[in-house]
């Protein structure tokens, strides 16, 4: 049987309430278990007691940014973090490279649609966990 | 008296405002998909006559969802093509939004201060009165 990642726990860290709610509904209807947080501090707190199967992280989160969330996830997971998708507006190549070095596996530039996000999550869950080789401090 | 951030008129670009509208429509579309799923799950529990009615409702919700997805894509594309210098009179437009939760989401998405209207029991998106 092909593993399609349904029923997987997915953390979404997104500051915009509309985008967060839209993503939560779309993922929930598709059979996933989304857990939404609106800032980096809440994401870090959640990661202390929850291990999501995948993460969707806005890079420009208020307070603690998306890089810090990726870094923390790598640390908590002993450098084999769950696959992460980063989101952001006008993502520069440097920003993408930095996020990848911290464990991100894919990126989604805003604006995107709910359908785009679902496609990417489905793809993300098919990826095998991969050790983070370089963690920038 | 010093004006607080809440009193300051909210300024936003037209492109930003269109983007915010696109997301709101996208959210409405997602809620339609959720409703569609709920109706679908209830179908087997209904009598054959009621099933036919529910199927009709399911079809309408599906059309509505596609309609909203189309308008959302249109608004998003319009926003992408608009000059960043063009401004939108968002303050006046926001004053016309009678749903507390929606007004609060729009305000914060446009860079304004959150008023916590999402937290109360009477803040819902359904304007019943």
> What's residue B4's pLDDT?
57
**Domain enclosing residue A86, as ranges:** 9-126
Q: How far apart are CA B18 and CA B93, in angstroms?
A: 13
List residues of chain B with CB under 8 Å from any CB of chain A. 19-20, 22-24, 26-27, 29-31, 33-34, 37, 69, 72-73, 76, 79-80, 105, 108-109, 118
How does residue A82 score in pLDDT terms, banded at 50, 70 and 90?
A: confident
**Residue A82: CATH number of its domain:** 3.40.50.2300
The answer to whether residue A136 sits within a structural domain is no
- Residue A103, pLDDT score: 86
Question: Does a structural domain hold residue A97?
Answer: yes
Q: Is residue A31 part of a domain?
A: yes
A101: tokens are 């070095």
Instruction: Judge whether A3 lies within some domain.
Output: no
What pLDDT is recorded for position B117? Answer: 60
Question: Is residue A132 a part of any domain in this protein?
Answer: no
Assign A134 a pLDDT band (cuts: 50, 70, 90): low
Pairwise CA distance, residues A120 & A79, whole Å: 23
- Residue B24, pLDDT score: 96
C-alpha distance from B47 to closest chain A C-alpha (Å) = 25
Q: Over 90: is that where the pLDDT of B120 sits?
A: no
> From CA A114, how far away is CA A109, in angstroms rounded?
12
Residue B125 has pLDDT above 80, yes or no: no
Residues A17, B26: C-beta atoms closer than 8 Å: no
Give dist(CA B21, CA B43) in Å, integer: 33
- Global pTM? 0.84
Lowest mean pLDDT among A2-6, B46-50, B78-82: A2-6
pLDDT value of position A113: 86
User: DSSP secondary-structure letter at B122?
Assistant: T
Residue B116 DSSP label: -
Query: Which residues from A are below 8 Å from B when comparing CB atoms?
Result: 16-19, 21-22, 25-26, 28-29, 111, 113-115
Predicted confidence at residue A110, as pLDDT, reads 83
> pLDDT by residue (tens digit) across B11-60?
899 999 999 999 999 999 999 999 999 999 999 899 988 999 999 999 99
Q: Choose the closest CB to A22 out of B23, B80, B118.
A: B23
Domain count, chain A: 1
Distance, in Å, from the CA atom of A101 to the CA atom of A129, rounded to the nearest integer, reads 14
Residue A133 is assigned to a structural domain of this protein: no
The minimum CA-CA distance between B63 and chain A, rounded to whole Å, is 16
Task: Indicate the average pLDDT of chain B.
Answer: 85
**How many Cα atoms sit within 13 Å of A45 on the Cβ side?**
8
Task: For residue A1, tell me if it sits in a domain.
Answer: no
Q: Which residue has the tokens 């008296």?
A: B1
B62 pLDDT higher than 80 = yes
Rounded to two decimals, the ipTM of the complex is 0.80
d(CA B88, CA A19): 21
Res. A75: pLDDT tops 60: yes
């Amino acid at each position: 049987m092909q593993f399609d990642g349904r029923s997987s726990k997915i953390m979404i860290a997104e500051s915009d309430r509309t985008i967060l709610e839209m993503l939560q509904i779309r993922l929930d209807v598709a059979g996933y278990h989304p857990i939404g947080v609106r800032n980096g501090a809440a994401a870090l707190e959640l990661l202390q007691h929850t291990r999501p199967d995948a993460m969707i992280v806005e890079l420009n989160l208020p307070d603690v940014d998306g890089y810090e969330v990726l870094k923390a996830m790598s640390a908590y997971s002993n450098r084999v973090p769950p696959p992460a998708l980063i989101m952001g507006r006008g993502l520069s190549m440097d920003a993408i490279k930095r996020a990848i070095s911290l464990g991100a596996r894919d990126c989604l530039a805003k604006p995107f649609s709910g359908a785009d996000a679902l496609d990417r999550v489905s793809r993300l869950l098919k990826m095998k966990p991969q050790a983070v080789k370089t963690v920038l401090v | 008296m010093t004006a607080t951030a809440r009193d300051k008129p909210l300024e936003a670009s037209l492109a930003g405002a269109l983007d915010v509208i696109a997301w709101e429509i996208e959210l409405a579309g997602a809620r339609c998909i959720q409703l569609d799923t709920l109706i679908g799950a209830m179908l087997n529990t209904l009598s054959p006559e009621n099933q036919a009615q529910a199927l009709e409702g399911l079809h309408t919700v599906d059309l509505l969802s596609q309609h909203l997805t189309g308008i959302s894509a249109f608004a998003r594309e319009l926003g992408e093509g608009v000059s960043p210098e063009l401004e939108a009179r968002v303050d006046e437009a926001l004053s016309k939004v009678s749903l507390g939760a929606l007004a609060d989401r729009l305000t914060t998405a446009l860079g304004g201060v959150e008023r916590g209207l999402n937290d109360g029991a009477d803040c819902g998106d359904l304007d019943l009165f």
